[in-house]
Amino acid sequence: MMNRRKVSFGSLALILSVLLYLCLLIIGPVIALISGAFESGPWLVIKSLTSPVLIKAFLLTLRIALLVVFVQTFFGTMIAWFFVRHEFLGKAFLNGLVDVPFAISPVVVGYMLLLLFGRNSPLFPLLERINMRIAFASSGVFIATLFVCFPFMIREMIPVIESLDRGQEFAAATLGTNRWTIFWRIIFPQLKSGLLYGMTLTFARAIGEFGAVFVVGGGVQGRTETVTLFIFRCIEERRHIEAYSAALLLGLFSVTIVFFADWIKRLQLSKKRISLLEDSLI
């Protein structure tokens, strides 16, 4: 009885500690954000959310995030496939480079891009000659967002590709099926859930980026101002209701995406369990 009580007390203490930590770190700030947004009534929130400046910033954020997802879905999957299916000299080094965006501060990323594409960079005369502007332009915001989101799709797709059943591929190839048909009929159906999960994670990270896009884009209103930069400007100008409202909108959007990604992950795991159970019964 004494051992059971000790274990029960330890488990209860652990649960309470986890709940307290979650409340302080996640639930508390969310409640503060909601109460701050609605402290002057819902009409000011609606007015803030329908502001043309915020709508333009939100559309720019969505456009850049969707473009980043599109590029990363193709190239990230291709890089992951290359790492899994091929052996080459320097593979471990390149695999380590993939995680560099996790280690570097986004502000440093923005500063590096500014040095690379800014007015004082060696590339600036070439960019000016072809009439292309990257620093303090939406293209620079896109490149910065692409850099910080680079590892997500690759790290998600590598274990998915490693777990593919290659026996089906070899069997189809033996029967004379071409590679394109093998990919669409056998490989792609097994990659779909991993692709969707990687895409949602990349999208959620892209819409919340601040440091890199602030440095390289400058937060020019109407041109390079994303939602996060809009929130920052409103806080600086003491327009707190607008800042709270925009942050609430972005937060709800991000949480929805995260829950969607989690649902995809659980669906993927349940499918794997069903498949393993069917194999064991056979």
Predicted pLDDT at 1: 45
pTM for this model (two decimals): 0.84
SS3 state of residue 35: helix
The one-letter amino acid at 220: V
Residue 65's pLDDT band, with cuts at 50, 70 and 90, is very high
User: Residues 226-232: what's their mean pLDDT?
Assistant: 92
Of the spans 62-71, 163-172, 236-245, which averages the highest pLDDT?
A: 62-71
Reported as a single tens digit per residue, the pLDDT across 103-120 is 888 999 999 998 888 888
* Total Cβ atoms within 10 A of residue 126: 10
Question: Between 5 and 67, where is the model more confident?
Answer: 67
Q: Which two tokens stand for residue 135?
A: 């620093």
> Which position has the token pair 């109460």?
35
Using the CB atoms, write b or e for 146-168: b if 16+ within 10 Å: bbbbbbbbbbbbbebbeebeeee
Predicted pLDDT at 226: 92
DSSP strand E in the chain: where? none
User: At residue 67, does pLDDT exceed 80?
Assistant: yes
